[in-house]
Structures are given as C-alpha cells and as structure tokens.
Amino acid sequence: MTAIFVTGTGTDVGKTFLSAALIRHWRMAGHAVAAFKPVASGFDPATAQASDPGVLLAALGRPISDIDAISPWRFAAPLSPDMAAAREGRAIGFDSVVEFSRRAAKSADHVLIEGVGGIMVPLDGRHTVLDWMSALRLPVLLVAGSYLGTISHTLTALRVLAQRNLEVVAVAVSESTVPGAPLDETVTTIARFADLIEVVGVRRLSREAHNHPANARIATLIDSSSAIHILRSFPRKREFCRLRWCIGANACFVGISCVS
C-alpha cells in the first residue's frame, strides 16, 4: 500500500493539479486509488466542482455528492483554516483531523492526502500543517511554484521538514502563472541544494500537462518510497540501518541504509 501527503511551500502552487494528475496516472495503471482533502478553505458550494475537493473527486471518477467523505472540514473564507473556521464560529479539532487522515491512509492501494496551503499554515491555535504531517509520519511530496522567490521558500521548507525527520520523496516545481525564472533553471538551482531529494519540473501550463512525463516520474518516486517503507518493517539480522540526508551543509536527518 502507498500513502503520501502532498504539501506545498504556499497556496496556489499546484498541489491539487499535481494530485489529480497522479490520481489519473495510478488509475490508468489499474490501481485502486483514494484521495482526500480533509481541510479546505475558500470553499463555495455554488462552484463545488471547481474546488480542490471537486477536482480530486473528478479525477477519482466519483460524483460531487461524495465531497463530505473526502473533505469534511470546509470553510468559506479564503483564509488560513484557523481564521476561516473562526469566521463561522467553528474550530478544527486537530486530533480529529489526524485520526481521519490515519483511517484514510489505509483505505486503498494508493492513497493521497492533500494538505491545505503551505507547511506552516495554522489549523488551530496551536497546530500547523507541519504538526499534522509529523503526527501522520507519511512520506511527503513537496510542491513548489516557479515564481520569483520560490528557491528560498522551497529550501526553507525542506529544512523545516528535515528538522521534523519527515521523508520527502520528491520536490515538484510546478510552473507558475506569474513571471519568474525559467522552470528548468529553477529546478536545477533547487536540486543543487536538495542533495539526495529529486527535484522534478512540472509544466502545468503545457497543453499536455495532465499527461506530462514528469507526472509519471513523480509517481515512480512515490512508489519507490513505499517499497523502502516495506523493507524498513523487515530489519536485516545483525545490521545497523540508517541514511543521512542533508539539505545544504548544515541540516541533516536520518533515514535508512544498512551496514553489517
């Protein structure tokens, strides 16, 4: 079973676009796929099909009437979830979100859980999306844009994820609609500081964006990460296993490799 948490360096960087592309890729390969957007703000019931949960449901081939099943915490205001919930006199129960996500992660052969906004977006008065990811301990797909400033945002996000010992399976640099550096140059620069983490450029503005080879490459990286997790559950006899991943020169975290 493969489960992945899709997060971003910020909002509107292409998380839902890439999530939908991965769903279609896995479905075409014959896999049973489930996807969830547990928390969503800026939701308008009148345009539900165009919302992030609506886009995921369309990729799954499910009706919009199933929206409660994949996105139970929806709010109208286009604000951080804690602010959007407060506008409606509501609050997000962090433990409930985590428990929902844990059940969701076991619901199909391939499961995708999409976060909300960027990794440090508050969910309530004490917890952020980073805390949500830390509680789940799922592999993370980090989505970034190609806008001016994205290099600093992306490398900062990688360092924060490394500090929490979260496994980043790939960085997807999704083409932005606003002007910035060329996509290929942005990918090359981020990759220079990401060490062992593969950085993939996603041409979101291309006519063939939904079937671009980058989507298949990211799907392969996610599936490979799942295989590593399976191996971790069967430690080799009389071996010590670890992997040191580094973001730049000063931030490292431990994963897996085996030495006798």
**Residues sharing a CB contact under 8 Å with residue 80, sequence separation 6 or more, in sequence order:** 41, 117, 121, 122
Backbone angles phi, psi at 233, to 5 degrees: -80, -5
The residue type of 251 is: A
In the DSSP assignment, the letter for residue 235 is P
DSSP string, 186-213: HHHHHHHHHTTS-EEEE-TTSTTGGG-H
**141 with 6: CB under 8 angstroms?**
yes
Neighbouring CB atoms inside 10 A of 11's CB total 15
**139 with 4: CB under 8 angstroms?**
yes
Residues 78, 59: Cα–Cα separation, whole Å: 23
Which listed residue (15, 37, 106, 237) is catalytic? 37
Token pair, residue 55, equals: 């886009």
Per residue, the 3-state secondary structure of 121-135, as one string, reads CECCCCCEHHHHHHH
Q: Which residues pair with 33 in a beta bridge?
A: 110
Residues 111, 119: Cα–Cα separation, whole Å: 19
Residues 239, 255: Cα–Cα separation, whole Å: 15
**21 with 169: CB under 8 angstroms?**
no
Q: Is there a catalytic annotation at residue 237? A: no
Active centre residues (catalytic): 37
